[in-house]
Structure 1
Amino acid sequence: MTRCQLIFVLLLFCRMSLAQDMIKHVHHRTDSTFFTENAGPQQSDYLESLEQVFQVLNKVPIVTSSFLNLDDIEHDLGQNDSAVAILKERMAYTHSLNIRSLQVYNTLLDKLAVTMKRYEDNLDEYRTKLEGLKKEILGLRKDTLIGQIFKDTALHTVFTPQLKRLRSKWREADSLLKSSTNVINNLKSRVAANNITIADLLFQVDAISDDLRYNAFGKEQSYLWEPPSFSVDSGAVEQDNRSRRYTGEKKLARYYFMNTSNIRFLLAITLAIYFYWVWFNFRSLRRLGKLSSINEFHFHYISPLPVIACLVFTLNLAPLFDPRAPAVYIEYSQLLLVLALGILFYRRLPKHYFMLWCIFIVLSFTLYFAESGHLLATYSGRWVRLMLNAVSAALAVYFFFTSKEKPGRSWLVRFAVIIYLALHLTAIVCNLLGRVTLSQIAGSTAAFSLSSAIGLMVFVQLITETFLLQIQSSRMRKNYPDSFEFVGIARSITKLMGIVAAIVWLIVVTNSLNVYDMLGDTLSGLFNTPRSVGKISFTFNGILLFLGIIWIANFFQKYIAYFFGDTGDDASIDDRNQRSRLLVTRLVLLIAGFFLAVAASGLPIDKITFVLGALGVGIGLGLQGIINNFVSGIIIIFDRPIRLGDTVEVGGKKGRVKEISIRSSTILTDEGAEVIIPNGDVLSHNIINWTLSNNQVRATLSFNLDKTTYTDAIQPDIKELVKTIPGIFLRKEPELAIEHVTSKAVRLKVSFWCTDVGSSSATSAAAREAIYNYLEKKGIEVS
């Protein structure tokens, strides 16, 4: 009996006792405290207590209806139970297990363990809520007013409607509490049973994997030149075992893919975003009539409808989205990548290289389908494997002897082919010596390592081309010049994407070699083990995470301007508003990156505060200048005494502000020199900003005229002439004045305003030439 049922019985018992007392003492009917005129509880007090009871009971359906995951957990546990049962059955046939199947089992068991942990957390949360409700209901017995209602007949008669509703509410609440408790307890028992089985199976997988890895280097079968050592019957049994093993692996792989559909959904979203990104930029250039502006980039792989390019892009990222996926998933994605690359290379590679790639496609598919069809599991199949490995190795050698025309990044291609050749030679040697498992692993890894390496080279090139397309599209939308220095930008993007490509390639190769889990566990133990220096505790993983996020934040703040077409040239300097916004964005990225790195790394905040305090002492002693420049940079960014594109004079240097960074600012002089001034020096000097509020500048020209030919009548004509010159600010009238007069000459001073300080020299020169020609036509001599 539950505690809720117990209190209900107690209340009924009180009511029965009350009935017996009423039979013996009838005078209670007229002697109730309810009808006495004293200072005892009033009717409102009883109603308030009843209202509290109703509020508690009303929580029950609300809380139980919030257990939204119970049905899903119960449904999914059925599939999980089936998967655990299949795994338990497969692990019973230890003689038919190999490293590949164990890798699939280990991946699936890890996934099941994570799923069971999530179910357990949900169920514990629901149970905690139910226990809280039960405690609230049990707490109602402390309310003396409710007990008095049941004891006093008159009170019971007065509150009969409320008590009827209370009984109905109680029955509903009691039913919900019992059913929810039973469901949760049942699910928790199933989850606990699965956890025990999963832990036991994981232990078995690890133990058998260690034995197989050790035995894989030993002789498994006879030498290839010797006759087979097993009979026809034993060969049939072995073939049947392999067939059942592959059938079980496929069932488990299907279960894994069904329960990780969100990863495939994310991949599909990534593909759609990348496709739209490329298509949108091509469409923008087409609408602007600027498609010819990308000719200098010599794009190889992206096009206005990059369907195959998007497929290659997504397939290369698949191992990164799900690094612990079963080997069959990596195999399928790599085979599809090989086909997509073949389509992409058509008419893009020289004919010789394209034919080599087509032969590689045939060899890869032949080897894979021969493996999956159990054609290589027999003695004769070992000879077929030997020939396939030999042909693949010969293909690699042929590439080296005929690759006179080196494709781009030839050293990377040659490195990938060397790995491909070495693995196939290893597979041949292992097959000859009876190391069948090692031969199979080396052969499949060779194909996947080469396809992944070539695919990732194309992936890096795709990202670089797409980024250059984005820059040029943004520049064209802002009417910037077509040409810009893109070589350095492309090189920087290639370096970053090269790091990502290397990580993905290592995931593919280690997964194919069936050492990913072992390597991951080793590295996890190395980097996640807590270490202490004095009183400070840390892990290598936290430090690497901290440094990595800081580096990524610095990279993005440095190159985010390129995404909006700002490459630092004169055209982008003129767009002051955008560059100011980008400057603030870069500062925000740096600050947010620092705090995110601290939060993600798990480093103790109090210890970091202590370190920053210690650094403060060092700053006060020797780093004053650096901090002064840093703080001055923040002041310049937000106070804006100078802005990007302003024409300024600072410390005797005049020019346009090209860059404002955290530490220093760069001024581009008229001679083309870039003057780097620390931000502290910028604020400590008097700043002459010619364009702080507007771009106008006043120019003055002087002419020495012959006094005998000069007349005041030319002044109105010169004023009108000046107004016709391009670049003159017409809202302010030109001014003419006689500055100096001698017996032979008159000095005429002409003052006017130019609309742009950057072009004031050209405007002044045009004005001087026009006035000189006018004076010459009038016959006035200019000395």
Structure 2
Amino acid sequence: MYKIVKVAAFSFLLITFFSCADVLAQTKKKKARSVRDSLRASILSRDSMMRSLKRSDTSTNNLLQKVEYYTSAFNQIKTNLSKQIDTVDISEQLPRYEKRISLIKSLIDNDKSSTLRYLYAIRDILTRSDDQLDLWQEQLADINSKLVQNQTDLNAISQDSVLKILPADSSLATTFLIQKIAIDSKYHRLDTVNKKLMVKIGLLQNRTSSVYISILDLKDQIDLKIRNFSIRALSAEYSNIWNMKADEGTDFTEALSKTATMNSKLFNFFIGRDILIHLSGLLILLGFVAWVYASRKKIRKTNEAFDMVFSQANYVIRYPFVSAVIIAFTLIPNFYDHPPVVVLETFFVILITALLYLTRKTCPKPLFNYLLLLFIITNIYCLSNLFIQVTNADRVAVLLLGLASIFISLRFLPSVRKAPDDFLPYTGVVLKFFILLQTVSFICNVFGRFSLAKIIGVTAVHNLWLAMAMYYIVQMVMEALFLQLEASKNSNNLTSYIDFQLLKNKFRSVLVILTSLLWLVMLTQNLSIEDVVFTHIETFLTTNRSIGGTNTQFTFQSVIIFIAVIWLSSILSKVISYLYDVSAKHKHDMDMLKKKNRTSTLLIRIGVIAIGFFLAVAASGVPIDKITIIISAFGIGIGFGLQNIVNNLVSGLILAFEKPIQVGDIIEVDSRSGTILDIGIRASKIATSDGAEVIIPNGDLISHHVINWTLSNNNRRVELIIGVAYGTSIEKVKGLLNDVLKSHTDIMTTPEPSVLLHNLSESSVDFRVLFWAADINTWLGLKSSVLTDIYDTFNKEGIEIPFPQQDVHVLLPPDGVTVNSTNEKVKPAKNIKGTNANDTKADQSDQDQ
């Protein structure tokens, strides 16, 4: 029993021990798992807590994000409303446009204008107003789109259902309610402001659209009046001058009052616009005066004979301000787009006043007297041209002005025919043209076509003065350029190297062409056909045309642009080459490197022309595929008949890159020698010693043997063969020859000159003299000088220079024997030895005797 109890107790202890060990092991395992899974347990704990709430975590986060997003959106809308919605400028200026349109409408409704200038000026005002209103409409439309977008965003905020959910948690609900109240306050405030701005912008858009529509209607009326005016001007709008009635025209006082009112308003409107053009005109006036004064001041300082220089620039030196006024007031009116007549006439009166002053100082008295009378007539024409309504007084005035113009011109014409060289060039031709136009104007006025008569008469006097102004402008610009070049002669800038005579010949023709084109433009303006002419020209140039029945289309505008760009590129390449060559010629220390750089102008010319070609293609709008076809066709042409031309072109490129010869080199090729003047794209020019210029294709310079005497330097070796008589001391001759060579300082010392025994000939001992000339251009003169010194030295030292001798054997018949024509009896003759040619001649003379 005791053993049983003992065994049981021992078993209990064992069980207890293992149980405790197992518990300890499990405890250790449990502690290890809690370290690794602590974060996971925390997450599960928080999920358990959040699941106890009525709303999930996701809903709460969305709510908070919505609140933050809408707060940011409100702030952005507020920023847009405060910065980008600015209509103050439109609101201030729109009433003036409304008033202006109302005034123009009244002017158009009551208009009986006698000139197209006013109709064009009013249409120009409408066009400018149209452009401004277009800009305003775009701005208002952009603002309105932003306001609409703001309103859409605000409506989306107010309709969002998320903001209507209240969190169950009391702390979250309180925070949400506070933010919700702030959002609602911002919403109502911004909604009110945005709607007010939308109403304001809508009203401005309506007013702008209303003015815009009025402008379109008025422009249609103006265009109709212009067409009716053109038709009326070509028809007998009034009765003949002898049947003129008092009710045909407006009362003169009324017309004068309306003319003054309208011209003052147009002038004020003109002054307030185009400020930059006003300033540019003033800049031309002052800039030309400053240019002349600066050149004159510099010439006085640097040139002692400045009076001689000034005598060649009579106009700009003696009358610089008058010259500037003539240039400025001739060019400035062309800067404006349809300026009012009152402005044009103001500019024109200033111009003719300056011209009259200049002719008084520089022209013969008969010309000044004629222009003085014409000046008075022109001023009355200008006043008549300002009238906006036709009056009988105006019609009679234009008639008398035409007669007066014809009379004074016919009286002045014999003086021009008697001494045409005393007056300006083409004075007689201009006078005849002027008389013709005034005659046409007089006839039209007599037979009731007053509008046409007035246009022709005003055009005649205006373009007569403008032709004179164009002549003076050419002279003044050339004189100003002359002064600039003279002032820069002693400086090292580029202008000091330009030849004025060459510039005068080239640039004067360009100026004449430009001024002639400008005169024609002004003629169309004065005839009031400017728009019609340029519209037809534009239509002619821009109309698509096809070649035959193909799909290849072109416009004359593209063709003209292509040719013009190519022409300008060729002109530019020549100008660059000229300036480069001229600058190089004026550098006395030009070395070989600079000469090679001068030859590089060929590359510049090729590059400029190539760039010009591609620019011409791009500017003309020619499709690239068409150019590919043209190049392909050109390649076929090369294969058949242009090998020689292409060979020369490629040879020109090789000469430009490889540079075996340069401009200024002295070469020999195919028995032709000379100095290279120019290396062109296809051929090169060399100047021979006898003054001829030889054109050599570039292919010959590449394929033939060319001797270049100056490829690496300008030195040339000179070789002389000097013969002395037998018996002369060789060492003495060498010493004398060396002394002669040393006495010439223009003989190079390196390489050293040398004297060598060359040959023992039949009659002389020959010496070979070798020396180097530093400049190949002077070697002939140096050779002549050395030979002269050698001859004088030998003559002084008694050294004989032998000349060629020969023995002549003559057979003579014996004494007493006569030789007949058949030579039947001939006896042996004596053998006579002649020592020289003179002895032979003497013997022959004795034989003849």
Question: Which TM-score tier does this pair reach, normalised by the shorter chain?
Answer: 0.7 to 0.9
How far the C-alpha of 1:461 sits from its partner, in A, is: 3.1
- 2: distance between equivalents of 1:173 and 1:717? 112
Q: Are residues 1:655 and 2:674 paired?
A: yes
Please list the CA deviations of residues 434-463 of structure 1 after superposition, one character each: whole Å capped at 9, or x if unmatched: 333223222211111101111112223334
How far the C-alpha of 1:583 sits from its partner, in A, is: 5.0
- 2: distance between equivalents of 1:127 and 1:159? 34
Please list the CA deviations of residues 272-326 of structure 1 after superposition, one character each: whole Å capped at 9, or x if unmatched: 5555665565566555538679869954534387333233233333354346434
Corresponding residue number in structure 2 for 1:758: 777
Partner of 1:337, secondary structure, is helix
Structure 1 contact 327–511 (Cα < 8 Å) conserved: no
- 1: distance between equivalents of 2:657 and 2:72? 58
Corresponding residue number in structure 2 for 1:201: 218
> Residues 455 and 149 of structure 1: is their aligned pair in 2 closer, same or farther, counting only changes over 3 Å?
farther
Select which of 715, 738, 743 maps to 1:721.
743
Structure 1 contact 474–565 (Cα < 8 Å) conserved: no
Partner of 1:347, secondary structure, is helix
Please list the CA deviations of residues 503-548 of structure 1 after superposition, one character each: whole Å capped at 9, or x if unmatched: 2112212211212122222333333333344323333333333333
- 2: distance between equivalents of 1:77 and 1:495? 51
Please list the CA deviations of residues 566-620 of structure 1 after superposition, one character each: whole Å capped at 9, or x if unmatched: 4999999988478557655544543444344334434444434443444343344
- Counterpart residue type for residue 657 of structure 1: I
Q: Are residues 1:397 and 2:414 paired?
A: no
How far the C-alpha of 1:149 sits from its partner, in A, is: 14
> Residues 462 and 589 of structure 1: is their aligned pair in 2 closer, same or farther, counting only changes over 3 Å?
farther
- Counterpart residue type for residue 565 of structure 2: I
> Residues 608 and 751 of structure 1: is their aligned pair in 2 closer, same or farther, counting only changes over 3 Å?
same
- 2: distance between equivalents of 1:774 and 1:479? 52
Select which of 554, 579, 592 maps to 1:538.
554
Partner of 1:106, secondary structure, is helix
How far the C-alpha of 1:729 sits from its partner, in A, is: 5.3
Select which of 123, 131, 145 maps to 1:106.
123
- Counterpart residue type for residue 86 of structure 1: L
> Residues 664 and 451 of structure 1: is their aligned pair in 2 closer, same or farther, counting only changes over 3 Å?
same
Corresponding residue number in structure 2 for 1:676: 695
The higher relative CO (CA closer than 8 Å, separation ≥ 6) is in 1
Corresponding residue number in structure 1 for 2:39: none
- 1: distance between equivalents of 2:640 and 2:605? 29
- 1: distance between equivalents of 2:264 and 2:319? 35
Partner of 2:241, secondary structure, is coil
- Counterpart residue type for residue 536 of structure 2: T
Structure 1 contact 470–563 (Cα < 8 Å) conserved: no
Corresponding residue number in structure 2 for 1:747: 767
Q: Are residues 1:699 and 2:717 paired?
A: yes
Corresponding residue number in structure 2 for 1:10: none
Select which of 676, 684, 708 maps to 1:665.
684
Structure 1 contact 330–508 (Cα < 8 Å) conserved: no
- 1: distance between equivalents of 2:434 and 2:193? 64
Partner of 2:770, secondary structure, is strand
How far the C-alpha of 1:397 sits from its partner, in A, is: 1.0
Please list the CA deviations of residues 445-501 of structure 1 after superposition, one character each: whole Å capped at 9, or x if unmatched: 111110111111222333444555666667765799x99997776444333323222
**Matching of residues 55-134 of structure 1 within 5 Å:** 80-95=97-112, 98-117=115-134
- 2: distance between equivalents of 1:681 and 1:638? 17
Select which of 224, 227, 246 maps to 2:241.
224
How far the C-alpha of 1:354 sits from its partner, in A, is: 2.6
Greater Rg, structure 1 or structure 2?
Answer: 2
- 1: distance between equivalents of 2:605 and 2:148? 49
Corresponding residue number in structure 1 for 2:732: 710
How far the C-alpha of 1:422 sits from its partner, in A, is: 1.9
TM-score, normalization by structure 2? 0.71
Corresponding residue number in structure 2 for 1:19: none
- 2: distance between equivalents of 1:610 and 1:169? 69
Structure 1 unmatched ranges of 5 or more:
1-24
- 1: distance between equivalents of 2:290 and 2:597? 24
- 1: distance between equivalents of 2:454 and 2:189? 64
- 2: distance between equivalents of 1:252 and 1:645? 66
- The two structures, once aligned, show a CA RMSD in angstroms of 5.3
- Counterpart residue type for residue 396 of structure 1: S
**Matching of residues 202-601 of structure 1 within 5 Å:** 202-226=219-243, 228-230=245-247, 235-236=250-251, 239-241=253-255, 243-271=257-285, 274=288, 288-289=302-303, 298-303=312-317, 306-322=320-336, 324-369=338-383, 371-372=385-386, 378-403=391-416, 404-407=418-421, 412-466=426-480, 477=491, 490-533=504-547, 534-559=550-575, 566=582, 576=595, 579=598, 586-601=605-620
Partner of 1:643, secondary structure, is coil
Q: 349-358 vs 756-765, which deviates more?
A: 756-765
- 1: distance between equivalents of 2:599 and 2:85? 50
- 2: distance between equivalents of 1:311 and 1:701? 70
How far the C-alpha of 1:401 sits from its partner, in A, is: 1.1
How far the C-alpha of 1:699 sits from its partner, in A, is: 2.4
Partner of 1:301, secondary structure, is helix
> Residues 746 and 594 of structure 1: is their aligned pair in 2 closer, same or farther, counting only changes over 3 Å?
closer
Partner of 2:420, secondary structure, is coil
How far the C-alpha of 1:558 sits from its partner, in A, is: 3.6
Partner of 2:315, secondary structure, is coil
Partner of 1:354, secondary structure, is helix
Partner of 2:524, secondary structure, is helix
Partner of 2:247, secondary structure, is coil
Partner of 2:361, secondary structure, is coil
TM-score, normalization by structure 1? 0.76
- Counterpart residue type for residue 682 of structure 1: L
How far the C-alpha of 1:666 sits from its partner, in A, is: 1.7
Structure 1 contact 64–176 (Cα < 8 Å) conserved: no
Structure 2 contact 756–769 (Cα < 8 Å) conserved: yes
Q: 504-513 vs 377-386, which deviates more?
A: 377-386
- 1: distance between equivalents of 2:630 and 2:180? 66
Structure 2 contact 683–695 (Cα < 8 Å) conserved: yes
